Amino acid sequence: MWDILIVDKSASMIHNIEDIKKGFNELIKEQTEQESENRFTVIAFNTNVEILSDDIFVNTLDVIDELTNVKGLTALLDAIGKAYSLILKQTDIKDITLTVITDGQENSSKHYTISELDNLKKDIDKDYNLKMTFIGADKDCLYGNPIALHAHVSLSCEGNLLGAMRTASSSMSSQREGTDYIPEGIVDISQNKVSSTDKSPLLMKRSMTLSSNDDTSCCLVFKKTKVIKGFNTST
C-alpha cells in the first residue's frame, strides 16, 4: 500500500507551524509503532511543489524544517497534479491513501488546471483504489473548492492542524487494516459543486487582509454549508 500526504506550507500557515511539527512527528511515530511498511510520500507546496520524502515510514527523512518553511502562495492544483502523476506512473501499488491539508484556496498553479485533474482522477479511478481525504483549516477552504469534490470525504479541522495530522494518521491506519474510520469534522459540500467547465472555478483567491509583506491571508467566504459532526480540538 501507499500513503501520500500533501501539506500546505504557504505563508498563511505561519500560525500553524507548531501544530504541524507536533502532528507530523506523532504521525511518523504512530505509523512506525504500528509497523507499517507502506510506501510514504510527503509533498509540500506553496508557490512551488516539492517531494520532501518518498520511502517507508521508518526511513522517512527529517523534513520538519522544510515542511514548516512557510512562504509564498497556494499552488494547490499543482500539488494534486504531482500526486496524481506519481500514482499513474506506477502500476505495482493499487491501494493508496491521499490526504491533503491546506488553509486556503488555489491561487498560483502554473502546470495543472482543474479540467486536467478531473481527467487524471478518472484515469486513477479506473485502475486504482484511491481513498482521498481533503482537510481544510476551516469550512471556507472547502466551499466552492473543486479539489474537495475529488475526495471521498472533506473535513474542516476548525484551525486544529494537530487534529488534522491525527486524522491523516488514522485514515492511513484504517485503510491498511481494512477497518471503517469515520473522521470528525465532515462537511457536506454536495450543494456547493463547481463545474470544471466554469472558466474561473479555481481562481478563488485568498483575500489579502493582512500585511502585504508576509503573504499571509485568509480564505474567501462562500455559501454556508452544514457541519455534520464537530471536529475534536483536544490536544
Are 228 and 188 in contact by the 8 Å Cβ rule? The answer is yes
CA atoms of 195 and 187, how far apart (whole Å): 19
Lowest mean pLDDT among 52-56, 121-125, 143-147, 199-203: 199-203
The one-letter code for the residue type at 158 is E
pLDDT in tens, 97-112: 999 999 988 999 999 9
The one-letter code for the residue type at 172 is M
Of residues 211 and 122, more confidence is placed in 122
Q: Does residue 26 surpass a pLDDT of 60?
A: yes
**Which domains are present in the chain?**
2-177 (3.40.50.410)
DSSP notation for 14-79: GGGHHHHHHHHHHHHHHHHHTT---EEEEEEESSSEEEEEEEEGGG----HHHHT---S---HHHH
pLDDT in tens, 192-201: 544 343 333 3
pLDDT in tens, 74-132: 999 999 999 999 999 999 999 999 999 999 889 999 999 999 999 999 999 999 999 99
pTM of the model: 0.82
